[in-house]
Amino acid sequence: MDLWKSVREIEEDVVAYRRHIHENPELSLKEFDTADYVESVLKEVDGIDSIRRISPTGILAEVRGAKPGEGRCIALRGDMDALPGDEMADVPFKSKRPGVVHSCGHDVHTALLLGAARILARHRSEFAGTVKFFFQPAEEVLGGAIQFLAAGALENPRVEAAVGIHVFSEHDAGIISSRKGPMLAGADGLTIGVKGCQSHAAHPHTGRDAVVIAGQVIGALQTISSRFVAPTDPVVVTIGQINGGIARNIIAGSVTLEGTIRTVKPETRERVHRELEKMVPALAEAMGGSAAVGIQRGTPPLICDDGLVDRLEAVTEKLLGKDRYVSLPDPSMGGEDFAFIMEKVPGLFIRLGVKRPGGPVTPGHSVDFFADESAIAPGLAVFAGTALDYLGVPLE
């Protein structure tokens, strides 16, 4: 099939989807207008077999192939939520909502998924099987992907592969990248409560200084990555918040530490948790105090299936050319809740370069963030093309 012909026919519409969503951003779990807009677009598409809300702002749509045979089932996912902030990018479709901005590119993801739904629906006669489209809320607060799992979106029929896409501001517009194996870190929350004994600041020997104990704990945490885990296995333990003490002349009786744990291998994740739960209380006890460790399990590591990455590279080279695919050398220590889905089925996560060629890098989550629209056509071609290729449709 001539996929590029289909992409060019709807490119302007997909750009318009992006601009509408960009102008009307909504925070996590409040994507009501966005979900209504997505639903209205899908209802106008001939060939969408089902559209249903799996939550107040989550939408699952399906296209079933019309070619005889059982076929395979693949899911495509796009997240929809925005972030707090006042947009500084100078664009004609700037956010109309004070204090809310699409600074992570989810407007682009949603528009690409709408475009992919149109292309797959149009070419449904060329494949057997099913494509599911996950229009996901609340990625930024890590609550959206699990809504689809809870709703049984991976079943009836069973999803055999899942593909997500995310803009990447470090690569020029239209560059496609991914990597085999771990691509993004698992991200867990960490809370440590240190207990000492309050006393007069002039007489520290009469108490047990929780601040000093906490300081030793913070330093010791860094030995988790440097002495308990292989140097080739990335681990980041960060303490981002410290609260303790009641006055400058009182030895603190308690301190609370808050932070994160980031790992790229499931087995390393579990080991780091175990070591923290052993080390921290033992160290505090050795200093005359006590400590309790609380770990809030967040997203698991995002691990790409080797075969799907090979497929992405081949599709990209066929549609865009050999120089447009980049194999990422290292995993990122950022987290992504699509990993909950990729834990259940073989998955692929696509990076789509959106930097204006020759322009500056505008980091995601920055109010200066900008995704160049020249990335939309190649992103759409590869996103839809990967699904079509998986379903056995020859691409031109």
Q: How far apart are CA 27 and CA 24, in angstroms?
A: 10
- Indicate the Cα dihedral angle 145, 148, 154, 157, nearest 10°: -150
- Max distance between CA atoms of the chain, in angstroms, equals 84
Residue with tokens 């009786």: 253
Q: How far apart are CA 177 and CA 378, in angstroms?
A: 12
Q: Which residues pair with 74 in a beta bridge?
A: 131, 161
Residue type, 78: G
Q: How many CB atoms lie within 10 A of CB 9?
A: 12
Q: Which residues pair with 73 in a beta bridge?
A: 130
Q: How far apart are CA 388 and CA 17, in angstroms?
A: 22
Residues in the chain: 396
Q: How far apart are CA 385 and CA 326, in angstroms?
A: 17
Do 345 and 78 meet the contact criterion of CB atoms below 8 Å apart?
no
Do 383 and 25 meet the contact criterion of CB atoms below 8 Å apart?
no
* DSSP per-residue string spanning 10-75: HHHHHHHHHHHHHHS---TT--HHHHHHHHHHHHTSTT--EEEESSSS-EEEEEE--SSS--EEEE
- The reply, when asked if residue 166 is annotated as ligand binding, is yes
**H or E element that contains 388:** helix 376-390
* DSSP per-residue string spanning 311-356: HHHHHHHHHT-GGGEEE-SS-BS---TTHHHHTTS-EEEEEEEEEP
User: Known binding site: residues?
Assistant: 104, 106, 140, 166, 365
Binding site per annotation, positions for Mn(2+): 104, 106, 140, 166, 365
